[in-house]
């Protein structure tokens, strides 16, 4: 069965190379009994991969059980997975089979496996290594033959460093890794998916399907989609049900897309009062530094030209002084608006003085401020609060951040207010 046939059978839409690669790996590993770990952001459709693996395996006629590990309380997760004996705990009036006993010979899909308690991880590791488990409240060792497929949107190596996930279990689960791409990495598939969802909702609610204008399509494809396919489907349903017009233009679509999730990189604009992510700030710093380097080059060239003409006083060159002033103003504005950007300061020039050759000169000195972003941020927040007598809304507007972010930063840096 080729990739296209698998897509048709399991309702997968898209032609992105990363998606095709994930399907190809799932197809090849299905005929084995190797453990598979599926990773990817929330909402990318990780639950489809274990179905492909099960249906294309020799276990397809046996049980397939999907378990959301994050939805089961910690106190009952062992009982759900491995079963319990009568009287094992309060409320255990009868013995109960767990998923590993019920799915013997089949496949178990453990979604959000990183949410498992550490003690349950130990039990799961034993199943993977020996195929054995013990019911809660029992001392009898039981055997099971199950194929285990897991998925998570958590960075497990980081969870291991924090002590939240066992490293030995990770290597047993990650025998074959499958990475599903985020929707923003499948730009060519976004409009196809929207059209599919719009058609489905048109049939469901007995109405014509909505269509997007070229400008709306461009916005749709450039949007960041933090919720991935799940978020796109939600937007398609809202537009289909709420809008009376079946032609959706840019203005209409914008109303259904939360602000602040435009595609990266985000170019920072001085008047925009939105929160910036760390990546946005990095882009802003890089763009600012590039402009500063260009300005500094112009200054140096101007000074060299003046020296060759016998005039070393930069003040006698209006164009050069304008360039210096513009550089200074740009850095001042950048610091006021984001407070996380390192800036050079140009100190006032010295009074002209006579030298041996009776030529005056100007001393321009660049002082590097502290490179600690945290210290700089704390300093700017403190200044803004002091400037507006502790009024957080005005201080937040001055800094170019939201009032909520300002409140969080005040707590983080223990700033008196």
- Residues 131-161 have pLDDT tens digits of 999 999 999 999 999 999 999 999 999 999 9
Output the CA torsion sign for 24, 8, 150, 35: negative
Query: What is 3-181's CATH number?
Result: 3.40.50.300
Supply the pTM of this predicted model.
Answer: 0.62
Question: 3-state DSSP call for residue 149?
Answer: strand
Report CA-CA distances (Å) from 67 to 78, 96, 103, 267, 345.
12, 17, 12, 42, 59
Cβ-contact 152, 37 below 8 angstroms: yes
Check: CATH 3.40.50.300 for 184-254?
no
CATH class of 371-417: mainly alpha
CA-to-CA separations, 391 to 132, 272, 375, in angstroms, rounded: 63, 20, 21
pLDDT tens sequence across 196-229: 999 999 999 999 999 999 999 999 999 999 999 9
Q: Which residues pair with 211 in a beta bridge?
A: 247
Quickly state the pLDDT bin for 296 (edges 50, 70, 90): low
Q: Quote the DSSP letter at residue 57.
A: S
Burial 124-161 (b: 16+ CB within 10 A, else e): bbebeeeeebbbbebeeebebebbbbbbbbbebeebbe
Average pLDDT over residues 281-285: 57
Q: How many residues does the chain have?
A: 417
């Amino acid at each position: 069965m080729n990739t296209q046939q698998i897509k048709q059978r399991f309702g997968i839409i898209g032609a992105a190379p990363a998606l095709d690669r994930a399907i190809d790996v799932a197809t090849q590993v299905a005929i084995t009994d190797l453990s598979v770990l599926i990773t990817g952001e929330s909402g990318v459709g990780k639950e489809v991969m274990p179905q492909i693996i099960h249906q294309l395996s020799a276990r397809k006629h046996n049980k397939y059980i999907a378990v959301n590990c994050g939805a089961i309380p910690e106190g009952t997760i062992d009982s759900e997975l491995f079963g319990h004996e009568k009287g094992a705990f309060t409320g255990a009036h009868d013995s109960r089979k767990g998923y590993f006993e019920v799915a013997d010979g089949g496949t178990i899909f453990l979604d959000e496996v990183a949410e498992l308690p550490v003690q349950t991880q130990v039990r799961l590791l034993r199943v993977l290594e020996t195929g054995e488990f013990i019911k809660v409240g029992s001392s009898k060792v039981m055997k099971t033959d199950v194929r285990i497929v897991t998925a998570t949107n958590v960075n497990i190596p980081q969870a291991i460093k924090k002590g939240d996930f066992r490293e030995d279990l990770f290597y047993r689960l990650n025998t074959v890794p499958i990475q599903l791409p985020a929707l923003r990495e499948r730009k060519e598939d976004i409009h196809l998916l929207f059209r599919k969802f719009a058609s489905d909702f048109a049939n469901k609610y007995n109405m014509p399907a909505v269509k997007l204008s070229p400008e709306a399509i461009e916005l749709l494809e450039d949007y960041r989609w933090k919720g991935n396919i799940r978020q796109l489907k939600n937007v398609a349903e809202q537009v289909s049900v709420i809008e009376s017009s079946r032609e959706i233009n840019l203005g209409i679509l914008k109303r259904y897309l939360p602000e602040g999730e435009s595609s990266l990189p985000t170019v920072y604009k001085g008047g925009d009062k939105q929160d910036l992510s760390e990546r946005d700030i990095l882009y802003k710093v890089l763009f600012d530094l590039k402009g500063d380097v260009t300005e500094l080059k112009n200054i140096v060239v101007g000074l060299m030209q003046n020296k060759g003409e016998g005039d070393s006083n930069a003040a006698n060159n209006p164009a050069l002084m304008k360039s210096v002033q513009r550089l200074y103003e740009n850095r001042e504005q950048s610091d006021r608006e984001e407070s996380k950007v390192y800036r050079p300061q140009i100190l006032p020039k010295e009074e002209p003085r006579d030298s041996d050759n009776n030529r005056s000169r100007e001393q321009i000195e660049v002082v590097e401020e502290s490179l600690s972003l945290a210290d700089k941020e704390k300093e700017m927040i403190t200044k803004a609060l002091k400037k507006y007598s502790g009024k957080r809304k005005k201080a937040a507007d001055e800094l170019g951040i939201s009032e909520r972010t300002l409140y969080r930063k005040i707590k983080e840096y223990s700033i008196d207010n």
